[in-house]
Copies of this chain bind each other. A is one copy, B any other.
Amino acid sequence: MFRINENYLQLNQNYLFSTISRKIDTFSSSHPGVDLIRLGIGDVTLPLSPAVIGALHAAVDEMAQKESFHGYGPEQGYGFLREKIAEIDFRQRGVPISADEIFIGDGSKSDSGNIGDILGDDNAVAITNPVYPVYLDSNIMRLGRSSHILLLPCSEDNGFLPELPAERVDVIYLCYPNNPTGTVMTRPELKKWVDWALENESLILFDAAYEAYIQDDNLPKSIYEIENAQHCAIEFRSFSKNAGFTGLRCSYTVVPKSLMVRASNGEMISLHGLWNRRQSTKFNGTAYIVQRAAEAVYSPRGQQEIREMVAYYMQNATIIREGLTSRGWTVFGGENAPYIWLQCPSGLDSWSFFDLLLDRCHIVGTPGVGFGTNGEGYFRLTAFNSRERTVEAIRRIDNFL
């Protein structure tokens, strides 16, 4: 008889956003015609920018002609895009990442979910608490809910930044600007982690999906801005949040060639080679037209357009942040991140506040506890709705809470 991967039975029954979605469905069917404002899931609302749309149409036209048709592309992504990324996201910022260290993917959820494929089952893995659920769930799927998964508590006491682990940790997921707390790491704080990883021969999986939201020029956008991080870190980047590609699907993963580890036979192994093999075997590249769209993000016009998009959402973040702060609520994030992390008022727990906000204000947010036990009593709002709806949401909170 065939067997399933029984680690799946150790997962929590429901994925956070599915639960929210069901609650919304229930509420909507008992309140027909209700005007919900969604500040829950981190999905963008602005359309794709003109430079991206132009590139998509042009690439579709190429696919219509035999002479310019593109079939299978390189599993690692096309050179035209990898070169642009290396140049603009890294070399122009003084970070020596080369094009062939960049792997184009179809989304950071896939990339950060699949990265475990190349890692051993005996690693002690650390994640923060609260955390983006994919890190935890993809590890439970692979390793089971064993003692090998360590949760690093993040709370108001430590400014929602984890402390260096006292126990052995081989692999750690760090996401800054952070989802869900909207907090950031300064250069010295990130350096502390890089130094720790080098000293302990640990691997940092650095999720920089929200780097475009950094307003403070002193904050690092890439972990490779920290000296020697290319020896201990893999970085994930996405086009979802900076360029609105949530429905278009494009991301990239940086695996520096200098990231090596000793195998049990003593041989030094390159993680770049392993990820290359994983992608070559279990992925067939991101759509050509989507890679052309991503390339357009790096044109001068594209760069200007995404700066305007980010500025638009950051203005929303300011509206939420200031609106709630002026009510005396305790609020984190929203300054270098599209997420506002608030302490639920009146000592409410996360789901009670979710229900209250839905019932009274017809606003959907995300319960902090959905990101981990340390998120209990907190709540995440996103800056990704329209200006009008964001303003209206704060008005409703002012009127009905």
Please list the residues of chain A having a beta carbon within 8 angstroms of any beta carbon in chain B: 1-6, 8-9, 11, 15, 18, 41, 43-48, 50, 53, 56-57, 60-61, 63-66, 69-73, 106-107, 109-110, 113-114, 117-123, 133-134, 137-138, 141, 170-171, 200-203, 244, 246-249, 261-265, 267, 269, 271, 274, 277-278, 280-290, 386
A178 to chain B, nearest CB (A): 19
- A119 contacts B69, C-beta separation under 8 Å: no
User: Can you give 30 contacting A-B residue pairs, CB < 8 Å?
Assistant: A1-B170, A2-B120, A2-B123, A2-B261, A3-B119, A3-B122, A5-B118, A5-B119, A5-B121, A5-B274, A9-B265, A15-B280, A15-B281, A18-B280, A45-B71, A46-B66, A47-B69, A53-B63, A53-B64, A57-B57, A63-B248, A73-B247, A110-B282, A113-B282, A113-B283, A133-B281, A247-B287, A249-B284, A249-B287, A287-B287
Query: Nearest chain B CB to A69's CB is how many angstroms away?
Result: 4
**Which residues does chain B contribute within 8 Å of A141, judged by CB atoms?**
117, 278, 281-282
**Given known contacts A110-B283, A113-B282, A283-B113, A247 and B71 CB-to-CB distance under 8 angstroms:** yes
* A136 CA to B112 CA, complexed, in Å: 24
Partner of A48 from the list B69, B283, B290 (CB cut-off 8 Å) is B69
Closest to A11 in B: B277
Q: What are the residues of chain B within 8 A of A249 when measuring CB–CB? A: 106, 284-287
Copies of chain A in the complex: 2
Asked if A72 meets B47 with Cβ closer than 8 Å, knowing A120-B3, A141-B278, A274-B4, the reply is: no
Q: Is the CB of A47 within 8 A of B73?
A: no
Known contacts A60-B56, A281-B137: A119-B271 contact under CB 8 Å: no
CA distance A262 to B11 in the complex (A): 18
Task: Select A4's contact among B53, B133, B269, beta carbons within 8 Å.
Answer: B269
CB distance from A32 to the nearest CB of B (A): 21
- Taken together as a complex, chains A and B put the C-alpha atoms of A4 and B277 apart, in Å, by 13
Q: Taking the nearest CB of chain B, how far is it from the CB of A296, in angstroms?
A: 12
Contact of A69 with B4 in the complex, beta carbons under 8 Å: no
A8 to chain B, nearest CB (A): 5
- CB-CB nearest in chain B for A60: B56
Query: What is the minimal beta-carbon distance from A136 to any residue of chain B, in angstroms?
Result: 10
A69-B45, A113-B282 known; A4 vs B248 contact (CB < 8 Å):
no
Q: Measured between alpha carbons, how far is A3 from B168 in the docked complex, in Å?
A: 13
For the complex formed, measure the closest distance between the CB of A319 and the CB atoms of chain B, giving whole angstroms: 18
CB distance from A194 to the nearest CB of B (A): 14
- Tell me whether A281 and B2 are in contact in the complex, defined as CB-CB below 8 angstroms, given that A43-B71, A248-B287, A248-B288 are known contacts: no
Structural contact, B138 and A281, CB atoms closer than 8 A: yes
Contacts of A271 in B (CB 8 A): 4
Top 4 A-B residue pairs of the complex, sorted by shortest distance between their CB atoms = A3-B120, A113-B282, A1-B201, A2-B170
**Which of B15, B71, B170, B281 contacts A134, CB < 8 Å?**
B281
Q: How far is the CB of A230 from chain B (nearest CB, A)?
A: 16
A3 touches B71 (CB 8 A): no
Measured CA separation A247–B141 after assembly (Å):
31
B3, B41, B70, B248: the one contacting A247 at CB < 8 Å is B70
Q: How far is it, in angstroms, between the C-alpha of A65 and the C-alpha of B134 when the chains are bound? A: 30
Q: How far, in whole Å, are A201 and B1 apart by their CA atoms in the complex?
A: 5
B201–A2 touching, CB < 8 Å: yes
Report the minimum CB–CB distance from A134 to chain B (whole Å).
6
The one of B44, B60, B72, B117 in contact with A71, judged by C-beta atoms closer than 8 angstroms, is: B44
Distance in angstroms from A305 CB to nearest chain B CB is 12
